[in-house]
Amino acid sequence: MNKYLNEFIYYLEVERGLAKNTVASYRLDLERYLAFCREQRSLASLLEADRDVVMAYLLYLQSEGKVSSTISRHLASLKSFYRFLVTENFLLENPVADLESPRLLQKLPRVLTVTEVEILLSQPSSGNGGAGLRDKAMLELLYATGIRVSELVSLEVEHVNLENGFIRCFGKGAKERIVPLGGTAGRCLEEYLLYGRSRLIGNKVTTALFVNWRGQRLTRQGFWKIIKKYARRGGIKKKITPHTLRHSFATHLLENGADLRSVQEMLGHADISTTQIYTHLTKGRLREVYDRTHPRA
């Protein structure tokens, strides 16, 4: 059973060129499914699994309290996997070809107000040595560009062009895009590169833009701890996630008149329908303004 999974993972990595995090998600989902097949159904081979087995697995996930978005993701992984098995002639028929995902309720992302963003970005102190300059640069960069946290921590020094005011970013599937920098983010990055990064690196050698106190590349988990710390320090009550500034970036741009296609390109969304979720937020904001200001609202 693991043979088929390993060949599928190789196909995702080499032929489709998917990002490491995406491939890792596929692997975790499918390993869980294979474990279910072995433990619950005692199948001698994955190829014996049929539609009923898959349905039993989805019901098992539901019984564990998994939300519909998680179940849909697992089903999407299974569909890709079985499609691969059929294409490679390991399997004659795809048991999940016409299986539909559970209906999803679109969950709107949580965003900060402009005031809350200003409070959050004002928390890091340059008096805290290299770490303070790094944290200020990271938060300003995230809000200025809307890049993903995985893209932030993957940045190399050479990806920053302060002279022309942009960064080169590599998103999902290693797709490159150019994202403009704001003046404030550019100045904070320059200060970090001049005075902060060398203090953190010491005598280490690395090409990573953002590093931890050991001089190694900062991780996503490390950044999450950092942003939660500053949210607490600023008294922000909303739940903060690593993507909060990305969501706030997109929403604030649209509220101030940016067109959807430009925001899509800056976010690195392959499909504009993914970007359109932010228009729901801006419409809600317009309604609030109307209700508060119109004489006959």
248-261 tens-digit pLDDT: 999 898 888 888 88
How far apart are alpha carbons 234 and 230 in whole angstroms?
A: 6
Q: Is residue 126 domain-shared with residue 239, that is, in the same domain?
A: yes
The structural domain count of the chain equals 2
Would you call 233 exposed, middle or buried from its count of C-beta atoms within 10 A (0-12, 13-18, 19+)? middle
Residue of 148, 197, 247, 252 with catalytic role: 148
Phi, psi of 141 (to 5 degrees): -65, -40
The pLDDT of 178-183, averaged and rounded, is: 89
Annotated catalytic residue 148: yes
Reading the block at residue 26, the tokens are 């596929």
Are 179 and 187 contacting, i.e. CB atoms less than 8 angstroms apart? no
Identify which of 88-92, 151-155, 279-283 has the greatest average pLDDT: 151-155
Would you say residue 92 lies in a domain? no
The pLDDT of 216-244, averaged and rounded, is: 92
Last residue of a domain, one of 43, 71, 87: 87
How far apart are alpha carbons 61 and 68 in whole angstroms?
A: 10
Q: Which residue has the higher pLDDT, 259 or 210?
A: 210
Signed CA dihedral, 247, 249, 252, 254: sign only: negative
The DSSP code sequence of 81-147 is HHHHHHHTTS-SS-TTTTPPPPP-PPPPPP---HHHHHHHHT---GGGHHHHHHHHHHHHHHHHH--
Q: Is it the case that residue 123 has pLDDT exceeding 80?
A: yes
How far apart are alpha carbons 149 and 146 in whole angstroms?
A: 9
Q: For residue 129, what pLDDT band results from cuts at 50, 70 and 90?
A: confident
70-81 tens-digit pLDDT: 888 898 899 999
Annotated catalytic residue 269: yes
Identify the pLDDT of residue 271: 73
Would you say residue 64 lies in a domain? yes
Last residue of a domain, one of 87, 122, 144: 87
Residue of 134, 246, 247, 252 with catalytic role: 246
Q: Is residue 142 domain-shared with residue 255, that is, in the same domain?
A: yes
Residue of 110, 199, 229, 243 with catalytic role: 243
Q: Is it the case that residue 292 has pLDDT exceeding 70?
A: no
The pLDDT of 127-149, averaged and rounded, is: 91
**Whose CA is closest to 223, among 147, 145, 138, 154?**
138
Would you say residue 106 lies in a domain? no
Residue of 172, 217, 220, 285 with catalytic role: 172
Identify the pLDDT of residue 61: 85
Q: Is it the case that residue 101 has pLDDT exceeding 60?
A: yes
Annotated catalytic residue 172: yes
Domain that holds residue 280: 114-291
Would you say residue 275 lies in a domain? yes
Identify the pLDDT of residue 269: 83
Residue with tokens 């741009």: 253
The DSSP bridge pattern shows strands 160-161 and 166-170 to be: antiparallel
Q: Is it the case that residue 210 has pLDDT exceeding 80?
A: yes
Annotated catalytic residue 278: yes
Query: Residue 10 sits in a domain of what CATH number?
Result: 1.10.150.130
Q: Is it the case that residue 15 has pLDDT exceeding 90?
A: no
Last residue of a domain, one of 40, 69, 87: 87
